[in-house]
């Protein structure tokens, strides 16, 4: 049985969500997509033509099905895939009800997030420098994401009315429609002002709701932002792969490394659980070990044994 076009489109958007919002590895993305496609085929066999049509009964039946016969590691992965799918569908307002309680994902070891060095961040932020609306928009987006630690979906969803320049605060609507207020640094404020002032005539013609828009006046998509950040990384001479979520991870890691309070970082990131934020302490520890190994003079001395 082949997937319907509606399921195919949803799976493609989910793939972008895994890569950009959750920062999953290539292998994990491939495995999750396979699991989610199996779930979609199961729903089609029940004459359900979209993820939005799934009810508690179908979800419970699917969980029972994957819990029979498979290895515990396979069951764990499939449950994790459906759990992350539920987060995506809730964020996209496709699932109106929260079925997360049905999907009791087993605890898994969290991967240490990949971050950019401070030097790489500076190179990346400096790249959009051409005197046109799109590069000024992209400069403002990069500055804001690194300065405030927004998720990609939150960044693309910023409305003009969400900004308070005087207080240097942005109103962010995060997962589950939870609203939080996040500080904006001076560099981000300056970049946004530069973008808005340069585009003032365009804004007057289009009357956009969203701050970051295309040259047609439409809301910028996550996919387009992802392509843009890869382009600027290439121009900046950053050789390893860069994904948008790495700026969010870098925001948290660099703040923590500079002595910021973990609870404050948790609130700025919009985490509901402190354990999620604590993963950045491992990143900071790894960075310290790497610095010690690379630069401490005692690590460079040759060891000589007495004869």
User: What pLDDT, in 10s, does the model give residues 155-170?
Assistant: 999 999 999 988 899 9
Q: Is the dihedral of CA 246, 262, 153, 181 positive or negative?
A: negative
Q: What is the pTM of this model?
A: 0.68
Quickly state the pLDDT bin for 283 (edges 50, 70, 90): low
Average pLDDT, the chain: 83
Query: Which is nearest to 147 in space by CA: 114, 121, 111?
Result: 121
Contact between 6 and 49 (Cβ < 8 Å): yes
Check if 83 is active-site: no
Which residue would you say has higher pLDDT here, 292 or 205?
205
Give the tens place of pLDDT for each residue, 82-122: 888 888 888 777 776 666 566 655 555 566 778 899 999 99
Check if 245 is active-site: yes
Phi and psi at 222, nearest 5°, equal: -60, -40
Helix axes 72-91, 56-66, angle to 10 degrees: 160
Check if 151 is active-site: yes
pLDDT at 304: 46
Check if 271 is active-site: yes
Pure H helices in the chain: 5-16, 26-45, 56-66, 72-91, 118-126, 133-148, 152-156, 186-198, 200-206, 222-235, 245-257, 262-269, 274-295
DSSP string, 153-175: HHHHT-BGGGEETTTTEEEEE-G
pLDDT at 302 over 60: no
Check if 235 is active-site: no
247: helix, coil or strand?
helix
Q: Single out the catalytic residue among 24, 245, 249, 266.
A: 245
- Domains of the chain plus CATH, in order, are 5-102 (1.10.150.130), 118-243 (1.10.443.10)
Residue pointed to by tokens 């010690």: 292
Check if 146 is active-site: no
pLDDT at 103: 65
Measured distance CA(143)–CA(140) in Å, rounded: 5
pLDDT at 290 over 80: no
Q: Single out the catalytic residue among 83, 114, 159, 271.
A: 271
Q: Single out the catalytic residue among 65, 105, 175, 223.
A: 175
Measured distance CA(24)–CA(247) in Å, rounded: 15
**Residue 218: left (phi > 0), alpha (psi -120 to 50), or beta?**
beta
Q: Single out the catalytic residue among 151, 222, 243, 266.
A: 151
Query: Which is nearest to 138 in space by CA: 244, 17, 5?
Result: 244
Strands lying side by side in the sheet with 169-173: 163-164, 169-173, 179-183
Rg for the chain (alpha carbons), in Å? 22
Give the tens place of pLDDT for each residue, 41-61: 999 998 988 888 888 888 888
Measured distance CA(256)–CA(146) in Å, rounded: 14
pLDDT at 97: 64
**Token pair listed for 111:** 């991967």
Residue pointed to by tokens 């496709």: 94
Q: Single out the catalytic residue among 24, 77, 136, 248.
A: 248
Q: Provide the β-strand partners of residue 183.
A: 169
Contact between 136 and 254 (Cβ < 8 Å): no
- How many other CB atoms sit within 10 Å of the CB of residue 268? 21
Phi and psi at 23, nearest 5°, equal: 65, 35
Contact between 159 and 210 (Cβ < 8 Å): yes
């Amino acid at each position: 049985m082949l997937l319907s076009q509606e399921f195919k489109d949803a799976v493609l958007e989910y793939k972008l969500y895994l890569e950009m919002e959750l920062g999953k590895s290539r292998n994990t993305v491939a495995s999750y997509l396979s699991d989610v496609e199996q779930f979609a085929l199961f729903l089609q066999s029940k004459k359900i033509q979209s993820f939005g049509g799934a009810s508690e009964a179908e979800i419970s039946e699917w969980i029972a099905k994957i819990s029979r016969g498979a290895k515990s590691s396979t069951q764990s992965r499939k449950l994790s895939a459906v759990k992350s799918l539920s987060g995506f569908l809730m964020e996209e307002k496709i699932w109106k009800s929260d079925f997360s309680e049905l999907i009791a994902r087993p605890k898994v070891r969290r991967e240490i997030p990949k971050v950019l060095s401070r030097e790489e961040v500076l190179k990346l932020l400096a790249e959009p420098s051409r005197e046109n609306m799109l590069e000024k928009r992209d400069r403002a987006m990069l500055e804001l994401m690194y300065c405030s630690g927004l998720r990609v979906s939150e960044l693309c969803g910023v409305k003009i009315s969400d900004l308070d320049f005087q207080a240097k605060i942005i109103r962010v609507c995060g997962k589950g429609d939870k609203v939080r207020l996040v500080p904006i640094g001076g560099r981000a404020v300056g970049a946004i002002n530069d973008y808005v002032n340069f585009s003032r005539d365009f804004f007057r013609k289009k009357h956009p709701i969203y701050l970051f828009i295309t040259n047609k006046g439409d809301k910028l998509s996550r996919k387009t932002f992802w392509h843009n950040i890869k382009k600027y990384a290439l121009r900046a001479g950053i050789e390893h792969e860069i994904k948008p979520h790495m700026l969010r991870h870098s925001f948290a890691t660099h703040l923590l490394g500079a002595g910021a309070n973990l609870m404050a970082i948790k609130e700025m990131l919009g985490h509901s659980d402190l354990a999620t934020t604590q993963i950045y302490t491992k990143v900071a520890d790894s960075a310290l070990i790497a610095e010690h190994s690379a630069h401490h003079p005692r690590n460079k001395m040759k060891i000589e044994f007495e004869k």
